[in-house]
Chain A
Amino acid sequence: MMEQEFSYEAKGQALVIHLPKELDHHNCRNLKVETDLLLAENYITKIVFDFSGTVFMDSSGIGVLLNRYKQMERSGGKVAICGAGAQITRVLNIGGIGKLVPRYDSIEAAIAG
């Protein structure tokens, strides 16, 4: 099965994380190490999770989002979500993320918001 990777993009002080097509335990394995490294090396005040290329997420994705949210909250930063489709939105709401993390239609709006 094809390996799905995250890609990262720095926009000013915002770190945009483009999520893979399927966000499950298998594809989440490297995210913590990679983002921890990026957060340590750069001055980041906001993480934007870009779901525009994602069609599936389970509770592994919720774990990743919650941990980043706690991480950013400790350092006074913010977390935002953009491009979430129907399945993703349902999982976010059931996972309790809906109330914690604001959602936007585009990356630009998420960075500005």
Chain B
Amino acid sequence: MEQIKRQTPENGGYKETDRELREGSRSERKGEAMEGLEKEEDREILRMEVESRSSNEEFARVAVAVFMSRLDPTMEEIDDVKTAVSEAVTNAVIHGYQGESGIIYIQVTIEGRLLSVEVEDRGVGIGDVKKAMEPMYTTDTTGERSGMGFSFMEAFMDQVQVKSAPGKGTCVMMKKRIGR
């Protein structure tokens, strides 16, 4: 199982960001407690299973956009997440399942201001994740695919992690803080 973790300089690393965000959500809970609305779990989750069809690329990104709207994001933040989700789902359809049938598992988690999106397939998997994530790398021979899918996910989200194993499938985990 190969795992690649990328960080952008401005988020200062995953662990730090995560801790900071949890503290953020704790103080929010405190506020709610004063109004008598304290919840056990300050986390909301959306789970979806869609068939691996290119028509579901739009459905998936729109569903995620609607779910994240409860964070009161800007238009730009919504567009960023939609683009990243579209890239991940397109990869699952084209590369993971190679255009064959299969199920794409999508989980979206909201924790404080942190939005996490996981897109998973049980398809062919990636042998060399590092190489697959290189900008402009593509296995396409028609010239129609730009090879920028992972670069786009990294450009539009704060953090992108890819877990993959040949024959088992691929899971793309992306995080973005909403409302800077």
A interface residues, Cβ below 8 angstroms from B = 1, 22, 24-26, 28-29, 32, 56, 58-60, 62-64, 66-67, 70, 86-87, 90-91, 94-95
Contacts and interface: CB of A to CB of B under 8 A. Distances in A.
Interface residues of B, number: 29
A90 B79 CA distance: 10
Interface of B: 54-55, 57-59, 61, 75-76, 79, 82-83, 86-87, 90, 93-94, 140, 142-149, 151-152, 155-156
A63 B145 contact: yes
A56 B76 CA distance: 12
Given A26-B55, A59-B152, A64-B144, A91 B83 contact: yes
A63 B90 CA distance: 13
Given A1-B59, A59-B87, A86 B144 contact: no
A70 to B, nearest CB: 7
A63 B109 CA distance: 31
A24 B144 contact: no
Contacts of A59: 87, 90, 146, 148-149, 151-152
